[in-house]
Amino acid sequence: MADDSDHLTWTRPLGSAAELKRIFAGVPAPVAALCATVDGENVSFVASSFVPVSLDPPLVSVCVRTGSTTWARLRGCGRLGISVLERAQSHIARRLASHAPDKFTGIDLSAEASGEVFVVGAAVTMTCSIAGTAPAGDHEIVFLLIERAQACAEAEPVVFHGSRFRSLSREPLAHAEWWPLTEWQ
């Protein structure tokens, strides 16, 4: 095994929250907008901690900062719309994550009668209900039961990496072509 020690900077013990944030920024993550209509108003929460959890039952999760006032409004909804944003929608992620009163203006949305709201053109959309929560330090892990879902095969999702929005390359890695993905289908 090659010695990669010249490429790594080990920090023990962790120095600060800022340093840990820098380390977490090295982990790429999808960008998901959780949206619903609450008391007649569209409400959004943008998460870069969106993770598929289980096939049976179908679950995903997001991590929410303890004390989030936006999450306090969304958690009471029966259903949430989750939109995993497409590469060309990084500007939408910034807008929906803001506290601007007009943040939905100019964004093409689809709203369901049951309250979930979706960003049109997203790579993946899901209707979810809250299945449970678990405390996790200064955050809460929220488990969401998927009721309906669809994906656009041609879409390229935006990812958050290095504290920036980025896109994925469609080119497969040459050394990874052996992976038997067909066995999972």
What are the residue ranges of helices labelled H in the chain?
A: 17-24, 69-74, 90-97
Longest dimension (CA), the chain: 59
Evaluate if pTM is beyond 0.85. Answer: no
Q: Is there a domain that residue 41 lies in? A: yes
* Structural domain harbouring 142: 29-156
Exposed e or buried b for every residue in 101-124, given b needs 16+ CB within 10 A?
A: eebbeebebeeeeebbbbbebbbb
Give the pLDDT band (50/70/90) at residue 1: very low
Cβ atoms of residues 85 and 33 within 8 Å: yes
Q: Is there a domain that residue 40 lies in? A: yes
Q: Is there a domain that residue 127 lies in? A: yes
Of 64 and 2, the structure prediction assigns the larger pLDDT to: 64
pLDDT at residue 183, as a whole number = 53
Domain count, the chain: 1
Q: Is there a domain that residue 108 lies in? A: yes
Query: By C-alpha distance, which of 79, 39, 46 is closest to 160?
Result: 46
- The mean per-residue pLDDT over the stretch 52-78 comes to 93
Q: Residue 100 pairs with which residues in a beta bridge?
A: none
What is the spatial distance between Cα 18 and Cα 30, in angstroms, rounded to a whole number?
Answer: 22
Quick: pLDDT tens for 90-136. Answer: 899 889 988 888 899 999 999 999 999 999 999 999 999 999 999 99
pLDDT at residue 12, as a whole number = 58
Q: Residue 43 pairs with which residues in a beta bridge?
A: 36
Quick: pLDDT tens for 36-46. Answer: 999 999 999 99
Q: Is there a domain that residue 9 lies in? A: no
Kindly report the CATH number assigned to the domain that includes residue 39: 2.30.110.10
